[in-house]
Amino acid sequence: MVYAGPHRLTPESFRSDQTDFVRLWTSAAPRVQVYILTMVMNWADADDILQDVGVTAWQKFSEYDRQRDFATWACGIARNKVLLFKRKENLKLVKSLELMERIEQVANSDSYSLECQYEALQMCLQRLSDSDRRLLTIQETSGISLKSVAIEAGRSVEAIYKAVQRIRARLFECVTRRLAERRDT
């Protein structure tokens, strides 16, 4: 279903809104995803909620005030979706509104923009070996599971998980260190 929005829909205006929305959503989605994941700490749930937020954002895109930050607006939708999800799915992590607000407060007080962190991550990823980077990618690629790779490679699943765990920890330390260096400079 395509929601046309409050104003009268013409083919030209539809194509124009769609282009704007895609551009804005592509830019805001990572931030929205961060927000949702932080609140639910479950990737499957976060994916579902993000998709739901995207649909709602498109449906309400005509209500979007172009003077406001789209990501902030989308995060507002995400917040409502998380609260809705919490009521429906008995969310384990954020059981209270108080914790939710504290998480938001910490996230908002972070002195680094998401763009800074993204840049730091890209630099640290470049420092990884190809094999480490590929191994990390497995986890994030649909259709490939660590378990199937481990079996095919003749290694134990635990060994693969451990390897991934070590790489992620190293990468996180690298990003943290780079951000600290950036703050010092």
Partner 1 sequence: MSHGTDIKELLQLPRHVRECPEVVTAIREIIEQDDEALQYYVRWMRFESLLRWTLQQTSLEQHLVVTEIRREHRRANWIRAAIVAFTLIAALTTVYGIAMLRDSLDPPVLPLVRTAGEWETSNPVIWENQDHPPSQIIQTGDRLSATHGSFLLRLKSGVTISCTAPIDLEVIDDWELFLHSGKAYAWVQPGGRGFRIRSPSVKIVDLGTVFGMTVNPDGSTEVQVIEGSVQAQSEKFEPQIIQGGTAYHVSSTGNLSLPRTVSSMEVKEQLSTLVGIQSLSGNLELRLSPPSSTLPHDLITRDGGCLFREQASIASNEEIELSTATPGRYSHKEPPARYQLPAGTRVSTYLIHASRPQEGPAVATIRFDSEILGFALSGRQLDSTDAVFGHADVIYPSQSENNQAYRGRGSVINEDFDIVEVSSDRHTLHVQLGNSSTSFDQIRVFVAAKSETKTVPP
What is the contact mask toward partner 1 in residues 55 to 94, using x (rule: CB under 8 A)? -------------------------------------xxx
- Choose which of 148, 177, 182, 183 interacts with partner 1 (CB under 8 A): 148
- Choose which of 4, 55, 83, 164 interacts with partner 1 (CB under 8 A): 164
What single DSSP character describes residue 1?
-
- Measured from the Cβ of residue 85, the count of other Cβ atoms closer than 10 Å reads 21
Cα diameter, the chain: 60
What is the contact mask toward partner 1 in residues 7 to 46, using x (rule: CB under 8 A)? ----------------------xx--xx--xx--xxx---
Contact stretch for partner 1 (CB under 8 A) within 9-17, 68-76, 78-86, 112-120: 112-120
* CA atoms of 91 and 156, how far apart (whole Å): 33
Residue 130 lies near partner 1 (rule: CB under 8 A): yes
What single DSSP character describes residue 63?
G
Place of tokens 């709602």: 56
Cβ–Cβ under 8 Å, residues 177 and 124: no
Q: How far is the CB of 182 from partner 1 (least distance, A)?
A: 14
Cβ-proximal residues to 30 (8 Å cutoff; 6+ apart), any chain: 114, 118
Cβ–Cβ under 8 Å, residues 57 and 44: no
Chain residues in the site for partner 1 (CB under 8 A): 29-30, 33-34, 37-38, 41-43, 92-95, 99, 102-103, 106-107, 110, 114, 117-118, 121-122, 125, 130-131, 133-141, 143-144, 146, 148-150, 152-155, 160-161, 164-165, 168-169, 171-172, 175-176
